[in-house]
Structure 1
Amino acid sequence: MFENVRADYQAHGRKWGAQGFWVMLVYRFGRWRYGIRPAILRKPFSFLYKVMFKLVQVVAGVELPCEVTVGKNFVIDHFGGIVISGYARFGDNCRIRTGVVVGLSRVEDPCAPVFGNNVDIGAGAKVLGRVTVGDNVLIGANSVVTRDVPSDSIAVGLPAVVKPRRQPAPSSQAS
């Protein structure tokens, strides 16, 4: 747990006051408590987690349940209005901003999006349902994604239109 907390601290710019870091602290604590055995010893830690989860939800406006699978360097860039389903999964180096919703498209189908590595989700974006987002993807602000997004793409608009990312121009070297 402490290695993950150190990495989260680094990912949030080494700022103890970053509310995204607070959210990650509570998230890491919630994941850590599952390892406490026997279950009777875990009960007070679970109660503490639920109180901290609600506090962070009210103060920071971020709902990141400990059931979510989060990779390394997960950054909550701007807090407020962020809701993430417990069924969601994120790869490494993902970044989310204010107003992002990652969740179910229908209550009858409890399956939330799965994100690859290096995914950047813009402010106000909604990613809903049985969706797979590949690696190196940008999701534009206020976009609504309800279909798969392949790797190396950009998803923008309502509903989101997927476009390939521009590759950086090869550097030309004179011989």
Structure 2
Amino acid sequence: MKEYLFDDVWKFQRRLRWCEYVVNTNSNWLLILFSRLMLRRISRALGFTIPINTFGPGLSIAHYGTIVVNGAARIGANCRIHVCVNIGTAAGSSAEAPVIGDNCYIGPGAKIYGPIQIGSNIAIAANAVVNKNFIEDNITIGGIPAKIISKKGSKGYLRIAKFE
């Protein structure tokens, strides 16, 4: 328990979820402002740009470092994300961001952009550039541009009771 109380990434995740709760329950505007300021403060310290309501439950951030996520992106439950990951829109479009399914593993340095859909139980390899749809579940994708490199999926990368 002690390691969680002093871990900055864990503190960020708690503040992110608290801010989502405060905003989604239409709380007092002063509380909303305070929660957003607290989230922005720790976000800047850790290098995260993760808007509220983009990730489902079970978000796991491996390390502190640059992570940029567009506010229009939607990522499902139980996502493990590493540093230097960008999830955003393609050049010239601001509203069309990726939709990623549940139980995904996103390796360090991955770039995911454009109006694409990615299935569930997918592992995205380190430094992959994903700019097209991968609807199929239980696959591993990687490369520049990304292609299917394995049928293994994210099973070995995530700790979820469903897999065990």
Equivalents in 1 of 2:39, 2:110: separation in Å?
Answer: 23
Partner SS state of residue 105, structure 2? strand
**1:4 corresponding residue in structure 2:** none
Tell me if structure 2 keeps the 8 A contact 1:20–1:75. Answer: no
Name structure 1 gaps, 5 residues minimum: 1-8, 169-175
Does 1:71 pair with 2:60?
A: no
Q: Which of 71, 87, 96 is the matching residue for 1:102?
A: 87
Q: Which of 74, 80, 86 is the matching residue for 2:65?
A: 80
How far apart are 1:103 and its partner, in Å? 0.8
**2:4 corresponding residue in structure 1:** 15
Tell me if structure 1 keeps the 8 A contact 2:87–2:113. Answer: yes
The number of residues matched between the two structures is 152
How far apart are 1:23 and its partner, in Å? 2.0
How far apart are 1:16 and its partner, in Å? 2.3
Partner SS state of residue 17, structure 2? helix
Equivalents in 1 of 2:47, 2:138: separation in Å?
Answer: 30
Q: Which of 4, 17, 25 is the matching residue for 2:14?
A: 25
User: Residue type matched to 1:147 in 2?
Assistant: K
Deviations 1:10-29 (A, max 9, x none): xxx97223333222222112
**1:56 corresponding residue in structure 2:** 42
Which protein has the larger Cα radius of gyration, Structure 1 or Structure 2?
1
TM-score when normalising by structure 2? 0.82
Task: Give 4+ residue runs of structure 1 displaced > 3 Å after superposition.
Answer: none
**1:128 corresponding residue in structure 2:** 113
Is 104-113 or 145-154 further displaced after alignment? 104-113
Tell me if structure 1 keeps the 8 A contact 2:140–2:152. Answer: no
Identity %: 27
Deviations 1:67-126 (A, max 9, x none): 41x222110111210011111112121100011111111343412111111100000101
Equivalents in 1 of 2:100, 2:68: separation in Å?
Answer: 15
CA RMSD of aligned residues (A): 2.2
User: Residue type matched to 1:97 in 2?
Assistant: H
